[in-house]
Amino acid sequence: MAAAARPMFRRVNHIGVIVENLGESQRWLAEVFGLPLDRAVDLPEGQVHGEFYRCGEVDIEIVHIGDPEERRNRLRGAKVRIEHIAVEVDDLEGTLGRLRALGVRTTTPQPRRVGNVVSAWTVDETTGGVSYQLMQRDPAGAKPAG
């Protein structure tokens, strides 16, 4: 595979870790490692709770899935699993077009907006065994309607 003309990614934003036991992961990150909690996000439609702990220029996100079956599926038999690497891109649609041409698939047909960020996640089997969350910040900072 030939190298890209210019890097697709601007920078790593965070590392996403799926966890079985939220309290245990919180204890390790906050109490043992001393990382400050930067923000928390709840997505009720998927029973997803995420917490972002600041570690230098990159966050560590712990993700707890409320639905036990979905949590088991995403943990793939582990108690804790690094699930994705979130990277910032300048042009999400352009990046997705370049990746699709290489056979990369995403987990949903359309990118998802949360606040002022639009994201798409790659299917790990199509990106060398790693799932990437491709993130583009809305320059206007617009929030979705509703």
Domain-wise residue ranges, the chain: 11-137
Whether residue 1 has pLDDT greater than 60:
no
pLDDT band at 103 (very low <50, low <70, confident <90, very high): very high
Determine contact, residues 81/75, Cβ cutoff 8 Å.
yes
Whether residue 146 has pLDDT greater than 60:
no
Per-residue model confidence (pLDDT) at position 2: 59
Per-residue model confidence (pLDDT) at position 6: 79
Q: Which helix (H) or strand (E) holds 23?
A: helix 22-26
Residue 57 to residue 47: CA distance in whole angstroms: 28
pLDDT band at 145 (very low <50, low <70, confident <90, very high): very low
Whether residue 143 has pLDDT greater than 60:
no
Neighbours of 50 (CB within 10 A): 20
pLDDT band at 116 (very low <50, low <70, confident <90, very high): very high
H, E, C per residue of 66-78:
CCHHHHHHHHCCC
> In this predicted model, what pLDDT tens digit does every residue of 68-79 receive, in sequence order?
999 999 999 999
> Does the domain at residues 11-137 carry the CATH identifier 3.10.180.10?
yes
Q: Minimal CA–CA distance to 51: which of 17, 87, 83, 84? A: 17
Per-residue model confidence (pLDDT) at position 121: 97
DSSP string, 77-103: T-SEEEEEEEEE-S-HHHHHHHHHTTT
- What percentage of the chain exceeds 90 in pLDDT? 84
> In this predicted model, what pLDDT tens digit does every residue of 18-63 receive, in sequence order?
999 999 999 999 999 999 999 999 988 779 999 999 999 999 999 9
Q: Give the residue carrying structure tokens 């996100």.
A: 61
Main-chain phi, psi angles of 64, to 5 degrees:
-115, 125
Query: Residue 100 has which token pair?
Result: 């699709």
Which residues, other chains included, contact 14 with Cβ-Cβ below 8 Å and sequence gap of 6+? 52, 58, 59, 60, 61, 86
